[in-house]
Amino acid sequence: MASDARKQPKKQTKNDADGPVPAHDIHGARELPTVLVEGYSLQLRDEGGFLGDQASQTAFRELLERWRRRHRRKGKKDPLGEQHSNELAKGTLDAALKSGRASEATDVVHAAIEEFAVGLAQVIRGFMRQPSWKGVERIVIGGGFPESDVGERAVLQAAAILQEMGERVPLARICHDTDDGGLLGWVHLAPPELLEHYDAILALDIGGTNVRCGIVKLRRKRARDLSKAKVLRREKWRHKDDSPNRRVLVTRLAEMLEDQVRYCKKKGIRLAPFVGIGCPGLIRKDGSIARGAQNMPGDWTSEHFHLPTALRRKLPTIRGVPTMVLMHNDAVVQGLSELPFMRDVKHWAVLTIGTGLGNVSYTNVG
């Protein structure tokens, strides 16, 4: 169920002995200077469970495995080999589409794509029925899945199915590299007055499979609307392969940030004392996670775990100034990377198809 963004209070109720905290210092901020975050991390249900579970990269891999099992039951050799579908590289699946001739591998991949596209279209239709998605004029698709040929084909088919359903909302691809979008969005969430005095900010994009840590250069002289912001340097860690516990993951996040700080110092980049964290789940105003982080190692909703505080302790200052650490939902952040390019519509939304399915809707107000 979507919460009402307009009812967000202007101050925290915890640790506020020093007086009200400015609205932009609140984690999970929804009221921004030029856009309102109407709702995000919606969890819609149908008779089969959570609707969004039908449209994640995980769901596609499960569909593919199901089609491969059907193929094997007929006494045929699996055309994609012995590896489980979860372990197959995207390039292997893309190669099946690019073979240029009919093959059993192509047939199996196409079957999974077609079934997934139907599910994605149904999920989108379900979101379009929600109050926070009312009047959405464009849906931007992000996440790692659409970066592959298989994912792109599935999204195109879903768009065609939506047209047949009578849903006239167009689907667009995110403008930026997926690895950059979840970092770039922070230029629209960081306190504007902070950005005036620095060249760059640090950002983390934490997903169920990968972590990205980068330096985002503001380049305000090129574009005051921050449309020319650029990820100057980025490190990507596929933590799923290492299976770290929560403590180890947090330690590695801090190390990644510290490495970026050292780089900025070496290159003479005026780095703001700010770290933006995007991660799955519903983010409370105090920076804790209410739900939706089930793909992360350990319990991220525990009352004894507060990621912004944990990272601030490990990186207390940047350039001698106390570090501000803010956290928001990863889909919200990735969607905001598109903000400068969404000025021709009033209401728009973003779906990020990764390990899970992220969702967010916006209204332009500026």
| One-letter identity of residue 167 | E
118: tokens are 């139907």
155: tokens are 């999204």
Percent over 70 (pLDDT), the chain: 91
Higher pLDDT, 136 or 26: 136
Task: Please give the Cα distance from 245 to 298 (Å, whole number).
Answer: 6
Task: Please give the Cα distance from 253 to 310 (Å, whole number).
Answer: 10
Which residues are CB-neighbours of 135 under 8 A, at least 6 positions away? 346, 347
What was the pLDDT predicted at 354?
87
DSSP string of 28-61, one letter each residue: T--B-SSEEEEEES---EETTEEGGGGGSHHHHH
Spatial contact of 132 and 98, defined as CB atoms under 8 Å apart: no
183: tokens are 């970092």
- The string of pLDDT tens digits covering residues 21-47 is 334 458 999 999 899 999 998 888 776
CA angle, residues 48, 362, 25, in degrees to nearest 5: 110
**Mean pLDDT lowest among 8-22, 94-108, 154-168, 251-265:** 8-22
Task: Please give the Cα distance from 39 to 131 (Å, whole number).
Answer: 9
Inform me whether the pLDDT recorded for 207 exceeds 50. yes
Inform me whether the pLDDT recorded for 352 exceeds 60. yes
Spatial contact of 348 and 137, defined as CB atoms under 8 Å apart: yes
β 200-206/171-173 pair status? unpaired
Spatial contact of 80 and 108, defined as CB atoms under 8 Å apart: yes
| Domain residue spans of the chain | 45-173, 177-337
Give mean pLDDT, residues 278-304: 91
Residue 48's pLDDT band (cuts 50, 70, 90)? low
167 forms bridges with which residues in the sheet? none
Which secondary structure element, helix H or strand E, spans residue 178, and what is its range?
A: helix 178-184
Which secondary structure element, helix H or strand E, spans residue 195, and what is its range?
A: helix 192-195
Inform me whether the pLDDT recorded for 7 exceeds 60. no
Q: Which of 199, 350, 321 is nearest to 270 (CA)?
A: 199
What was the pLDDT predicted at 15?
34
**Mean pLDDT lowest among 4-18, 72-86, 118-132:** 4-18
Q: Which of 262, 221, 234 is nearest to 178 (CA)?
A: 234
What was the pLDDT predicted at 100?
58
Number of Cβ atoms within 10 Å of the Cβ of 248: 14
pLDDT, averaged across the chain: 88
| 111: phi then psi, degrees, rounded to nearest 5 | -60, -45
136: tokens are 């959405």
44: tokens are 């819609």
CATH topology of domain 177-337: Nucleotidyltransferase; domain 5 (3.30.420)
What was the pLDDT predicted at 16?
31
Q: Kindly report whether the global pTM for this prediction surpasses the value 0.75.
A: yes
Give mean pLDDT, residues 255-264: 97
DSSP at 92: H
- The string of pLDDT tens digits covering residues 59-110 is 999 999 999 999 898 888 898 999 999 999 999 999 988 865 558 899 999 9
Inform me whether the pLDDT recorded for 359 exceeds 90. yes
What was the pLDDT predicted at 5?
37
What was the pLDDT predicted at 102?
59
Give mean pLDDT, residues 209-213: 93
What was the pLDDT predicted at 273?
96
**Mean pLDDT lowest among 29-38, 99-108, 171-180, 318-327:** 99-108
